[in-house]
Each structure stands twice: as structure tokens, then as C-alpha cells.
Amino acid sequence: MRNLKRVLLAVFILLLVLAILAFVLENQQSVTLLFLGWVGPELSVSLAMVIALLIGMVIGPIVGWFLRRASRSSHKRLV
């Protein structure tokens, strides 16, 4: 049973890596991003998407932490 879980995990990770590789290879077009007047460097679409994903993975938990903290403090005031 333990070996089956390891094999399934290895297969899942391999499929995930292959999907990411296919995404990167299919999105090699260069783009320039413009945000609030700031012009970013010319990057491939896949690199821009990966950077956006990583930024979201950092910002998401921070926002969640702030919301939980605000919820706890407002709950303490009510009690």
C-alpha cells in the first residue's frame, strides 16, 4: 500500500512536470507588460505567467492572515 502511494505520487508529479513543460514550450512569444504607466521588460508569456503565479502565492496567504487577524479582533470586541 505504501509503495502504491509512492508510485501514484511519482506519476502525478511527472504528469504535472510534463504539463508545465508543455505550457512553457507552447508560450514562447515575447510580451511587454504595462501596468499603471509602468512598462515592464520584454518577457515570454510563460515566464510572465509563472511570475504572476508566484506573486499570487506570496500575497494570498498574507491577505488571508490579515483577514483572520481582523476577524479575531472584531470578534473579541463583540464578546
SS3 for the chain is CHHHHHHHHHHHHHHHHHHHHHHHHHCCCEEEEEECCEEEEEEEHHHHHHHHHHHHHHHHHHHHHHHHHHHHHHHHHHC
The SS3 of residue 49 is: helix
Asked whether the whole model's pTM tops 0.85, one would answer: no
The pLDDT mean for the chain works out to 87
CB–CB of 64/79 below 8 Å? no
Cell numbers at 31, concatenated:
510580451
Stretch 6-13: mean pLDDT, rounded? 94
- At residue 34, the pLDDT reads 85
